[in-house]
Amino acid sequence: MSLVQERGGYARALRHQDLRCDALVVTDRRFWRRSTGSEQRIANLLLYLEQRGVFVIAAHVGHVGSVGSEARREQSAIEKFRRDAPRLGILTRPWNARSIWPSQTRPLRRAFVQSAIERWTPPIVLVEFLRLTDLVLPGPDIHPKPSYWIDTHDLMHQRAERFRREGIPLERTLDEEEEARLLGGYDTVLAIQPVEADGFRKLVPEKEVLVVRHGVPMPKDPFPLECTDSGLHSKLPANSPRQPLRPLSPSVGFLGGPGEANRHALDWFVTQVWPTVRAHFDRPPTLSVGGQVCREWTSPDEDIIEVGPVDSAGDFWQHIDIAVNPIRAGSGLKIKNVEALAWARPLLTTSIGAEGLEGAAPDGLRIADDPMTWSKTLIHWLSDRATRHEVGRRGRAYAESHLCPEAAFLDLEQKIAQTLGETGR
């Protein structure tokens, strides 16, 4: 039994992991859903480590539902995830927001994490997101003391500055001094791409910084057939006013999660770029928008297909000819871009969107920031099937070399092995 969920917390042992935990991963993301970039990042990392023989327990401190139907749905989703990682232990607790005062939640979650550390005495405690630092540090007084690692996902003060520059509201912000203070409590910092690793080394020069990109399994047959009908309209409600995609019309796609940055990017694209592109063709191309962003963004154009959430990236990209990511704020590594490259889709993105993937440009992806260059590039690709397929093939080759799990997670795997060796595990 690797799922432990009870009203009073975890009271039963993880059978085959009761005596061993190589790494405790602390997160508040429902990674088993794999519905956003951050969830996919955590899920892929956990799956890779489990498959490489690392005994991992994930302590989830977020909301997974109270006792009842919501909790049962989450438990079913977790067990479905665990079929791919049967040795992975997952600790959850059904935080009932209706019975706990907000001021009590944080102390209870800290006690939950601290108890897990004391119980399994892991050599490594890996925290997913800097905002959870106060749940983990300072840690319990145990021997041997764990090595505390932080998987950053973003350079937070840079992210906040970029959001401010674009006039995009951001709920959580950190200045440079506060970010350095929080990072200073960890032994090792994991950066999701090389440029940010350099930024972390300047912030905390005394700390070890590893580059751990996002690793995505490579689809076996990614190369697109020329779409005559994307099939995505079949996912729309039966009473949807949307029409099926035009036959023989190449398709452009954006896949994104919730968040103001994605909505801002789409607004810019559909007002500054897409009208020019559509007007160039007698038979206009189609634009499809997929992912959880559709729950928060409404298209101003009835000809834009809003697909909505999809079960997997493959469900979307296999029906799309060209990938776009006009993101204009943020940091980290854009998971949607990694997936597009893995699916051999020619990718057009911004300078911010391409951070961490610069090595794929210009042959495997194109970078543009102004509407004119965006329009010209898309018109060229839409008009020239051979060019877009060649860009897609080169992007896939880059992904195979740098973004498969074996390449992206290699340094992390070696660091874990070194740490476990030092502790005699």
Question: Which residue ranges make up each domain of the chain?
Answer: 3-214+405-422, 232-402
Of the listed ranges 214-218, 232-236, 315-319, the one predicted with least confidence = 232-236
CATH number of 232-402: 3.40.50.2000
Report the predicted TM-score, pTM, of the whole model to 2 decimal places.
Answer: 0.87
Domains 3-214+405-422 and 232-402 share a fold: yes
Q: What is the pLDDT of residue 20?
A: 84
pLDDT (0 to 100) of residue 18: 55
CB 22 within 8 Å of CB 123: yes
pLDDT confidence of residue 221: 81
The rounded percent of the chain whose pLDDT value lies above 90 is 69
pLDDT of residue 301: 83
Looking at 132-136, 225-229, 285-289, 350-354, which range is the least confident one? 225-229
Phi then psi dihedrals of residue 323, to 5 deg: -100, 135
| pLDDT for 384 | 94
Summarize the confidence of residues 142-154 as an average pLDDT.
95
The pLDDT assigned to 246 comes to 38
Return the closest-CA partner of residue 81 out of 50, 120, 55. 50
Fold classification of 3-214+405-422 (topology level): Rossmann fold (3.40.50)
- Examine the pLDDT at 306 and tell me if it is beyond 70: yes
